[in-house]
Amino acid sequence: MLLWTLMSCTAGFGERPCAAVDGSILAVGDSIFAYNSGDCESAPDVVGALLGRDVFNAARSGAMISPEERWIFGDIREAYVAGDWSHVIVEGGVNDLNFDCDCAGCDDVLDRIVAADGGGGAMPTLVDRALSDGAEVVLVGYYEMGPEATNGFDVCNPAIGELNTRYELVAAGRDGVTFVNPGEVVSMESTPDAYRSDQVHPTAEGSVLLAELIAAAIED
C-alpha cells in the first residue's frame, strides 16, 4: 500500500498563530485535530472559541498512538505534557490501523492501541497519565470515512467501529473520562460538507461540528 497517513504538507506542522501558549486545555491527536489550524479553525481552536477558554492544540498530522518504532510524523503520547490542564482532549489510532495493518485483520494493532475491555494499551495508558496529573479527559473517536476516501481509508470503517467501541469502554471504566463519538454529528449521508474532497479530513464546517460535540462534553 502507499505510505499514507492522516497528514498534510500544510496542516499540523510549525507554529500556529492561534495557539495558546499557556492554555487551560490541551488537545493531542492526529490531523483530524490538526486540519484547519492554519486558519485557527481546527476543532480544538473552535472548542476554545466556544468555551471562551485557551486551548493549546498539540495535534500533529500523521501522528500515531502506538508506533512500534520511531515514527517520523510523531507519537501522540509524546505530544502530551503535564501541566495545569483542566481538560485534555485526546484522539488518535486510525493512522496505526491504516499503516500497520491496512485496516484489515487488525486485532493485534487494535490490542496494542487499546485492549478489548478498555483496560490497557497505549491509549488507556495516556488517558491514565492525564488523569493522574489532575486533568479530566475527553476521549474522541472517529467518524466514518467516505466510500471514496483516499489512500486506503475507505476500508477502515469496520476497524474504526471497533476502535470507537473500545474507547467507549475506556471511558466507562474510569472516573473523569468522557467518550465522544464524532459519528453522531458527522457522516457522508447527513453532513457531506463536513468532509474535504479526500473524504477523510474535516472541512472547517466539519471541525465546528466536532468542536460543538467536544465543548458540550466539557461543559457537561
Write the CATH number for 143: 3.40.50.1110
pLDDT given at position 23: 61
Where would I find the H helices in the chain?
Answer: 31-34, 43-51, 76-79, 94-101, 107-113, 122-132, 157-172, 204-219
- Host domain of residue 210: 25-215
- Asked if pLDDT for residue 149 goes beyond 70, the answer is yes
Q: What is the pLDDT of residues 5-18, one digit of tens each?
A: 343 333 333 344 46
Number of domains the chain contains: 1
- The reply to whether 136 falls in a domain is yes
Instruction: Find cell 496529573 and name the residue.
Output: 133
pLDDT given at position 151: 84
Contact criterion met (CB below 8 Å) for 66 and 112:
yes
59: phi then psi, degrees, rounded to nearest 5: -65, 145
- The reply to whether 7 falls in a domain is no
pTM comes to: 0.90
Rg for the chain (alpha carbons), in Å?
A: 15
